[in-house]
Copies of this chain bind each other. A is one copy, B any other.
Amino acid sequence: MEQNGSEKLLREKLREKGLKVTRQRILVLSVLEQNCGSHMTAEEVYGQVSEDYPEIGLATVYRTLQLLLEMQLVDRINLDDGCVRYEIGHLLRGNAKHNHHHLICRSCGKVIPFDGDLLEGLEQHIEETAGFHVQDHEVKFYGLCRECVKAQK
């Protein structure tokens, strides 16, 4: 059976904890991996997994996402649109940069991702002064996008 890095890591972590490798768990992780760029809701993950495995239940998806989160194989993001979102974890994301940086327009609601390299200095500062080991972050700037700034005049 073909088996990529994520799946291997999943199997390892499950074994460590005495938990079982199931098709559902593998599929949920693999869907998240295939949609590496996007932030998926549990419902969306459910929809995608259902294509390969129609018998799966939504509750299983929730339980699995929770489990994967604890194992740090997935990350959780919240864009204030009323539902929690998930994406493949920072450990598995490879060279793709973290993209939990968003500009949220308070006027039109648009969500614009942006590059957050500048946060690295800040993270280092936190590690030094607070003794807190930063693994990941979520940064949201609220304001007005270019178009809405113009429209306001």
Contacts and interface: CB of A to CB of B under 8 A. Distances in A.
Contact of A135 (B80, B133, B135, B143): B143
Interface in A86-145: 103, 105-106, 112, 114, 118-119, 121-123, 125-126, 130-145
B141 A72 contact: no
A13 interface: no
A118 B112 contact: no
A149 interface: yes
Contacts of A125: 118
A134 B103 CA distance: 8
A142 B137 contact: yes
5 contacts: A122-B122, A133-B143, A134-B143, A137-B141, A137-B142
A78 interface: yes
Copies of this protein in the assembly total 2
Interface residues of A, number: 36
A132 B136 contact: no
A130 B144 contact: no
Nearest to A76: B80
A112 B138 contact: no
A17 interface: no
A134 B130 contact: no
A153 interface: no
